[in-house]
Structure 1
């Protein structure tokens, strides 16, 4: 069976990463979370005091970007976790503080160029599943399988809220999450550099009312159709 590149794009908090990880594991591919890469850069900016409120010191980040090393290593369960300059930051990059600033960082052209170059290098040998905002349009426009995932904003906010509660966050409210999510949607869709859009040849998946099993069955069927033709 031929190896391909699978690009999964879509809005935030719609379960893209979960489905991409599961798909990669089932078909024996490598999973790469492109969103985690932008979150890691955002965490670097926060930790190194490059933010003054929502204003980012882009000049300092431009000077530092070459020193920001992002890697993925498998944990004991065989799932990839994000490392920033040698430190496991998988939990840190999922905080609301990072979520509230990642769209600012990811809209910067030189940040996107650096991350896209790294992502393309990771995908040279194919056999990968990568999810994000511009994988099928910018990073891998020739990907053999492209999926664009969407879901109702309120449903996505509830999923994200439940995730935060499960990780012990008792301060963030559902309204906080919904407001943040809508703001991120707007920024992702209207930014000048690589805005979030559905590729013309992407398959649309609205998972608002689908179970995890139903999503996986749908994805596996599409994968088999593409790789066996």
Structure 2
């Protein structure tokens, strides 16, 4: 297996921004596993499939069989560019429900693990360092205060206040997403014991990127 940098953390902690920048600096592939769950949720909704666990076979079939193409700036499922469509509050909620389905997680974890067979990767998600790559060369856990996370999400193009409501509504949605992520039976969100925690609350993106790159280089040099 090629080297893996696993970046985990809750929604709004800055995983995507930091992981993409780190991958660019290293010249490694960037993989957004959350986009995979979002794409599956989008396709399941398009097909009118139930997202309940008692009827998870249909969604699991999507996770297993769909052609998912993850590019640095595009997400394509079965030939359809869903980059913008999967970044909405509705898909946030659907993706959280899809992520609780054991068969779906099993299928997508297998796909995620296959990326490291092709080359070094920077992979971000919620269970990368605990489930997908428990022996990853580097494990980072990004976190931030609830207020900072809500502010970031509300400033996203797909989550601006005109669409998502007042910032307290965004904060409440994040609290619910945290609850779902941390209490699901399959691969709950939690920090790996050997992960390095980086609090991004008041740090500029460039500073966080440099901190993470420093950790990565130190770990790789000692392997």
| TM score, norm. by length of structure 2 | 0.92
2:14 matched to which residue of 1? 15
1:85 matched to which residue of 2? 78
2:171 to 166, 178, 182: 178
| TM score, norm. by length of structure 1 | 0.89
2:42 matched to which residue of 1? 43
What's the offset of the Cα at 1:55?
Answer: 4.8
1:212 to 191, 202, 205: 205
2:28 matched to which residue of 1? 29
RMSD: 1.8
Query: After the TM superposition, which residues 6-155 of structure 1 pair with which residues of structure 2 at under 5 Å, given as runs?
Result: 6-51=5-50, 55=52, 57-73=55-71, 79-155=72-148
SS at match of 2:163: coil
2:180 to 178, 187, 198: 187
What CA deviation, in whole Å up to 9, does each residue of 1:39-84 have, x standing for no partner? Answer: 1111111111124xx75742432444433221123xxxxx342111
1:162 to 146, 155, 158: 155
Distance 2:205 2:65 in 1: 38
Task: Say whether the 8 Å CA contact 1:145–1:202 is kept in structure 2.
Answer: yes
Gaps of 5+ in 1: 74-78
Task: Say whether the 8 Å CA contact 1:138–1:194 is kept in structure 2.
Answer: yes
Gaps of 5+ in 2: none
What's the offset of the Cα at 1:27?
Answer: 0.9
Distance 1:29 1:118 in 2: 17
Distance 2:149 2:79 in 1: 32
